[in-house]
Structure 1
Amino acid sequence: MQTLNKCLLIFSLALGKNISPLDSWSVLFESKHKVHATPHITNIIRSNPAHFTNNQIEELKSLNISIQNNNFLIERPEGLNESHVTNHFKFHYTLGNSYDAIDNINYVISMGEVFENVWSFYIDSLGYLPPVQDQMIGGSNLYDIYLLNLPSGYFGITYTSGAATENPSCASFIKMRNSYSSSLFSDHSELENIQVTAVHEFFHAIQFSYNCYEKLWFMEATAVWAEDELYDDINDHYRYMPTWFSNPGKPLNYTYGIHMYGTFIFFQYIDEHLGGPQTIKQCWEKSNENSTYIGDNSYLSINEALQNQNSSLDDAYNRMRIANRIMSSNLNAGIYRYEEANDYPVELPKIKEFINYDLGDYKSYTSSELNLFSTHYIELSTDVPVVISLNNESGPISDLSLFTVLKYDDIPRWSVRSNNEINIDPLVGVDYISIIVSATDDIEKNWDYSLTIKDGHREDFTFYDPYPNPGSSKYPINIDLQVIEPQNLFIKIFDVLGRQIWSMDKKVSEAGLLSVAWSGKNQNKKNISSGVYFIYAKGEHNSFTKKVTFIK
């Protein structure tokens, strides 16, 4: 495990495409679109002022960023002579004819109610650390929020504060708009804009209480995830998905542009299938433990948190990439299901290559563009059985993973297989065959790989993925076998120690669907314990094993 953790640190350092401080400056001052300013201001504050021209430094002063002793200094806004206090927040604002004035006090009161709701959800209910106190720089020990006429397109900004804190935490404060009525924000109501911005920026404040040095991609991806966790009917985060799904070849920790916001889908998958929001919190707890100003331990922290779910960064990443291809809310999708998939503004990731195969062909596909924690999707069209083989031209085969996804005709059923060599029989009737190649578990920056496709063999039955998974006595696990040729079929269930706990055999005289519902009882019809089990199905020529979880 120590070797793996060391490698994960090197991975993150080598492969993330990081946005430069000058690029962040351009986003802040030259963008004509909506702007999440926090990562770019954070990126600039972490950098050396020598990167910038005098004119650029002068522009930064408009955002209360100046230079002192060759370091960037954050100053608090001035001229806000009114305040509104809630249980945990102090809102600074002004009325009248000022450029920063709000229309009326009800705007502040409404915003206060939203922020208190956010605090209650993340601090009181989910147990995240509250923001670190700023030594009363804002006049109290309450968290300071300043209402201002922010630059056009800015949602809000969370600044790190210069208050003395215990490393690696840092205090912070937030700037919110004095109005969200601009046409740039017309996709949602003013209240909805306040809600998603309050969650996003306050989650940054929480993040800074764990690790002031964490990487921007991890910060933004989880902040976007947090928006939907509390206010799941607004769906502002949907706007990041088309660009993200158009670029599956970019690494998971890619920071440039808006890609890092779309990476919320990775944490959404973890939330839905690997422990819920508590696992996301554990990622930040591990970030605190692994904090480093110089390096990048984001992959390491996520990997350690996932171990509590008997998973890993590799496992979660590969499962997420499969779910992104299946893209369904149907319960049959099992561990590859997204609850809101049917509403997402995407249908599938960008396909890198389309391959047609006929009987007797021998096809070879090569690529030299695969980065760590990035994926290539290849679509295969064939009417005959094929064998697909993966070869790593740049190192051990264990660096890469090969999955296939078969969507069956006319029914919401999928078959997912993984190996370095996979036989596919499309004669059962398929809607699509997708080949998924990903890079995990090595320190190389790029991989060259090749796929070979040749004639395969007929399969006498197909084992659909069991569902629901996890199952329970209330929701039995359905075991469905699509029988292609008459034969004797055997189904056995084993526990993790290899002990057989249940079995059945069936003589099938004609092609069709064989369905069995297993409600968690052993051969003696006694209830079994909660845990992981393996379903083994064997026919005349083929056999398959599927892993399921049963919860009493």
Structure 2
Amino acid sequence: MQVITIHVITLTIIPDCRMPGNHRRDESMKRSLALVSSLLLVFSGIALGDTAMDRIISALGSGEFTDAETVDLLIQSVVDWDNLPDRFTEGTESVPCGTPAMLEAVRLGIDSPLANRPPLSGPHYTFDSPDGYFKIHWTDSGADAVTLSYATTVAVAADSSWQVECTEMNFITPPPDNMVGGSNQYDIYIIYLGGGTLGYCSPSGEFQPPDSTQACSASHIVIGSTISGWGQRVCTMAHEFQHAIQFSYSFEEGTWFMENCAVWMEEMVYPDVNDYLPYVQYGAGALRTPWYDIRSAAMYWYGAFTWPWMMWDRWGYESVREIWEICADVAGSNLEPAHEQMFAGHGSNFESIFMQYGLWRWFTAANWFAGCGMYNEEVSTWTPGPRVLPYHNTATLPFSGDQTTTYKPDYLGIHWIKVDLSSYQNDWIQMAFDGYDNLQWNMGVIMQDLSGRFYFNWYACDPTSGDITITVGADGWDYAIFFPAFMTNYPMNHNYTFEITSLGTGIEGSPSNTDLLNLNVSSNPIQTGDYVTFDLPSAGNANILIYDMSGRVAATLINEELQEGSHSVQFDGSDLSSGTYFIMLFANDRISTRKVLLTR
């Protein structure tokens, strides 16, 4: 037995012992699984919904259709839904964005006039948007008919999208279309779209700059003619224009990240509309179905805008743009190295940021507080919030369970396992986890104090046995949240068992010292000139931020490389008003907070 002791948290890795009722291991499977690589980002979404596109792609995979027939069906699912065969429409989920289906059709490599610029059902009118960036194509007759007021709303929303996304956020502007639409302005068409589709962006039939080193393409946007609500109409425009920008970098990248970013961009352009909220409140998404692969397709990818939102909130929108810029540097699909390179520029890596993503998603809805340092106050509206399965929620120990039959974690999926500590305040709590052998598992731990404090750390399980035992002190904490993460890109055996027990008070050391960073202040209330103290278990970057009650970063105390050991930094509140603040320390993949009152 190998025992690793870190301050007062003990990690016990047990290579040979099995927990009761655990699964048998197949030796030949062990040898083959040793070759499975982990932490790979694929470039198209993992299908999980029941949409027309899913059914069409499935039929292609079973050999029912040729590539050419599949292309026509995919395009028809967007532009001619009403005439799509019933087998692809009955009982399916409505998909608001038709861009992924159009993109899949383009990627099959067969030209289809249906994917090119659409004809209109009546007289073809055009006008320029107020800022002159766009040419709007519309009609007032036939199935595609809209009013001039409707078309003007689209034009103004397009200009607003350009202003925010290109001028303010400095995303690349779409390349000119080589006069395909009669000018080099960006062309937007307003037509009837059925099946719940609100709009789409297509690179089909468009000019692709010959000197581009990546899959850069011009494109056109189509907006549905029957979007009744102003908010939904303008957010659809912001969403689809983000796709046009993405095609300017590379249209070969994964549609899952394209949709993540497009929904996030709705908030960037129209922060007061919040048309995205249903994606996070209902159905599949990063909060309600955290066991899904974060690269999953419709409908998950709409409710997974939280991934780029986290990057924006932590490092600014430039971090999301940087991923697209890296993708543009090399031809082909480059999302994996692009994410890794961006994270490396911030002193981290994909694995660590993914584990922190489990923490960030936890502090949403009712769990959010101003000093948590994650997202912003708007996330308190992301109700009902992070989903804890009833099989993973307890106030009584001992407590045991597994991955469940229905909700097994995908690759890059997690489960939150929540323990109410109110009856165990003087105890040590032990989580004994056993994941399937020879697969990579990680375990995140959140200690939550409802008064406005938390501590986070994560650990890698034994790579051979999948085991880890973590012991935490309950004193002063309201909840312990453990979240196992499946980190091997392998389609089978996502099985685990766990047992959580109370060990009483028989372990040497104080249960209140669970926080390895030992973040503290010399006095509270605090004043300028007082000290913030902390420990680093190992050398690395230490970043201390001060958050006000709105969740805004009010000051940075330190952001530099430090040696292992105890440290102190002088608190400077000279530019801050009196009031309540939260001190947050990021160090060594750990995060700790402290609530303070500033007086003068």
The TM-score with structure 1 as length reference comes to 0.72
Q: Which moved more, 1:316-325 or 1:21-30?
A: 21-30
The aligned counterpart of 1:91 is: 136
2:381 matched to 1:343? yes
The aligned counterpart of 1:318 is: 355
Whole-Å separation in 1 of the counterparts to 2:173 and 2:336: 24
Whole-Å separation in 2 of the counterparts to 1:219 and 1:495: 34
CA displacement at 1:474 relative to structure 2: 8.5
Whole-Å separation in 2 of the counterparts to 1:425 and 1:339: 30
Whole-Å separation in 2 of the counterparts to 1:349 and 1:452: 20
Whole-Å separation in 2 of the counterparts to 1:100 and 1:475: 68
2:306 matched to 1:272? no
Q: Residue 8 of structure 1 contacts residue 300 of structure 1 at CA under 8 Å; is this kept in 2?
A: no
Of 187, 191, 216 in structure 2, the residue corresponding to residue 148 of structure 1 is 191
* Cα displacement string for residues 370-402 of structure 1 (whole angstroms, at most 9, x for unaligned residues): 332111222234524222233443326xx3221
CA displacement at 1:168 relative to structure 2: 0.7
CA displacement at 1:234 relative to structure 2: 1.0
CA displacement at 1:195 relative to structure 2: 1.6
2:452 matched to 1:412? yes
**Residues 148 and 474 of structure 1: CA distance in aligned 2, closer, same or farther (over 3 Å):** farther
**Residues 111 and 371 of structure 1: CA distance in aligned 2, closer, same or farther (over 3 Å):** closer
2:415 matched to 1:376? yes
The aligned counterpart of 2:218 is: 171
Q: Secondary structure, in 3 states, of the residue corresponding to 2:42?
A: helix
CA displacement at 1:407 relative to structure 2: 2.3
Q: Residue 534 of structure 2 contacts residue 566 of structure 2 at CA under 8 Å; is this kept in 1?
A: no
The aligned counterpart of 2:335 is: 298
Q: Secondary structure, in 3 states, of the residue corresponding to 1:99?
A: coil
Whole-Å separation in 2 of the counterparts to 1:16 and 1:179: 30
Q: How many percent identity over aligned positions?
A: 19
The aligned counterpart of 2:163 is: 120
The aligned counterpart of 2:288 is: 246
Whole-Å separation in 2 of the counterparts to 1:378 and 1:417: 15
- Corresponding letter in the other structure for 2:241: F
CA displacement at 1:8 relative to structure 2: 6.8
- Corresponding letter in the other structure for 1:303: E
* Cα displacement string for residues 261-306 of structure 1 (whole angstroms, at most 9, x for unaligned residues): 1110111111111x111111011112223442xxx54233222222
Q: Residue 494 of structure 1 contacts residue 500 of structure 1 at CA under 8 Å; is this kept in 2?
A: no
**Residues 364 and 426 of structure 1: CA distance in aligned 2, closer, same or farther (over 3 Å):** same
Q: Secondary structure, in 3 states, of the residue corresponding to 1:390?
A: strand
Q: Secondary structure, in 3 states, of the residue corresponding to 1:175?
A: strand
2:57 matched to 1:12? no
CA displacement at 1:246 relative to structure 2: 2.5
The aligned counterpart of 2:238 is: 199
Of 192, 215, 218 in structure 1, the residue corresponding to residue 254 of structure 2 is 215
CA displacement at 1:251 relative to structure 2: 0.3
- Corresponding letter in the other structure for 1:74: N
- Corresponding letter in the other structure for 2:471: N
CA displacement at 1:150 relative to structure 2: 2.8
Q: Residue 445 of structure 2 contacts residue 458 of structure 2 at CA under 8 Å; is this kept in 1?
A: yes
The aligned counterpart of 2:147 is: 103
Question: Aligned residues, how many?
Answer: 461
CA displacement at 1:365 relative to structure 2: 4.5
**Residues 426 and 221 of structure 1: CA distance in aligned 2, closer, same or farther (over 3 Å):** same
Q: Secondary structure, in 3 states, of the residue corresponding to 2:201?
A: strand
- Corresponding letter in the other structure for 1:120: Q
Q: Residue 164 of structure 2 contacts residue 269 of structure 2 at CA under 8 Å; is this kept in 1?
A: yes
The aligned counterpart of 2:471 is: 423
**Residues 200 and 330 of structure 1: CA distance in aligned 2, closer, same or farther (over 3 Å):** same
* Cα displacement string for residues 395-425 of structure 1 (whole angstroms, at most 9, x for unaligned residues): 26xx3221222222x5132232333443222
Q: Residue 387 of structure 1 contacts residue 455 of structure 1 at CA under 8 Å; is this kept in 2?
A: yes
* Cα displacement string for residues 411-460 of structure 1 (whole angstroms, at most 9, x for unaligned residues): 132232333443222243x4332211112366676544443434443634
Q: Which moved more, 1:441-450 or 1:240-249?
A: 441-450
CA displacement at 1:149 relative to structure 2: 2.8
Q: Residue 406 of structure 1 contacts residue 434 of structure 1 at CA under 8 Å; is this kept in 2?
A: yes
Q: Secondary structure, in 3 states, of the residue corresponding to 1:157?
A: strand
CA displacement at 1:74 relative to structure 2: 2.4
**Residues 404 and 308 of structure 1: CA distance in aligned 2, closer, same or farther (over 3 Å):** same
2:365 matched to 1:332? no
The aligned counterpart of 2:482 is: 435
Q: Secondary structure, in 3 states, of the residue corresponding to 1:45?
A: helix
**Residues 478 and 133 of structure 1: CA distance in aligned 2, closer, same or farther (over 3 Å):** same
Q: Residue 270 of structure 1 contacts residue 316 of structure 1 at CA under 8 Å; is this kept in 2?
A: no
CA displacement at 1:364 relative to structure 2: 6.8
Whole-Å separation in 2 of the counterparts to 1:21 and 1:32: 11
CA displacement at 1:196 relative to structure 2: 0.2
2:326 matched to 1:282? no
The aligned counterpart of 1:236 is: 275
- Corresponding letter in the other structure for 1:498: Q
Whole-Å separation in 2 of the counterparts to 1:165 and 1:475: 60
- In structure 1, runs of 5+ residues without a counterpart are 1-5, 50-65, 182-188, 482-492, 504-515, 522-530, 536-543
Q: Which moved more, 1:458-467 or 1:146-155?
A: 458-467
CA displacement at 1:90 relative to structure 2: 0.8
Whole-Å separation in 2 of the counterparts to 1:333 and 1:352: 25
Q: Secondary structure, in 3 states, of the residue corresponding to 2:387?
A: coil
Q: Residue 456 of structure 2 contacts residue 592 of structure 2 at CA under 8 Å; is this kept in 1?
A: no
Whole-Å separation in 2 of the counterparts to 1:129 and 1:144: 17
Whole-Å separation in 1 of the counterparts to 2:513 and 2:223: 56
Q: Residue 370 of structure 1 contacts residue 438 of structure 1 at CA under 8 Å; is this kept in 2?
A: yes
Higher relative contact order (CA 8 A, sep 6+): 2
Q: Residue 21 of structure 1 contacts residue 40 of structure 1 at CA under 8 Å; is this kept in 2?
A: no
Whole-Å separation in 1 of the counterparts to 2:174 and 2:559: 48
Whole-Å separation in 1 of the counterparts to 2:454 and 2:445: 10
**Residues 271 and 499 of structure 1: CA distance in aligned 2, closer, same or farther (over 3 Å):** same
Whole-Å separation in 1 of the counterparts to 2:474 and 2:565: 32
Matches within 5 A, 1:376-395: 376-381=415-420, 383=424, 384-395=427-438
- Corresponding letter in the other structure for 2:56: L
* Cα displacement string for residues 205-238 of structure 1 (whole angstroms, at most 9, x for unaligned residues): 0011111112211111110011011211111111
Whole-Å separation in 1 of the counterparts to 2:274 and 2:37: 36
Whole-Å separation in 2 of the counterparts to 1:214 and 1:475: 50
The aligned counterpart of 1:43 is: 104
* Cα displacement string for residues 110-136 of structure 1 (whole angstroms, at most 9, x for unaligned residues): 332221121111111211111122211
What is the RMSD computed on CA atoms of the aligned residues?
A: 4.1
Q: Secondary structure, in 3 states, of the residue corresponding to 2:362?
A: helix
Q: Secondary structure, in 3 states, of the residue corresponding to 2:170?
A: coil
- Corresponding letter in the other structure for 1:136: M
Q: Secondary structure, in 3 states, of the residue corresponding to 1:345?
A: coil
**Residues 351 and 150 of structure 1: CA distance in aligned 2, closer, same or farther (over 3 Å):** same
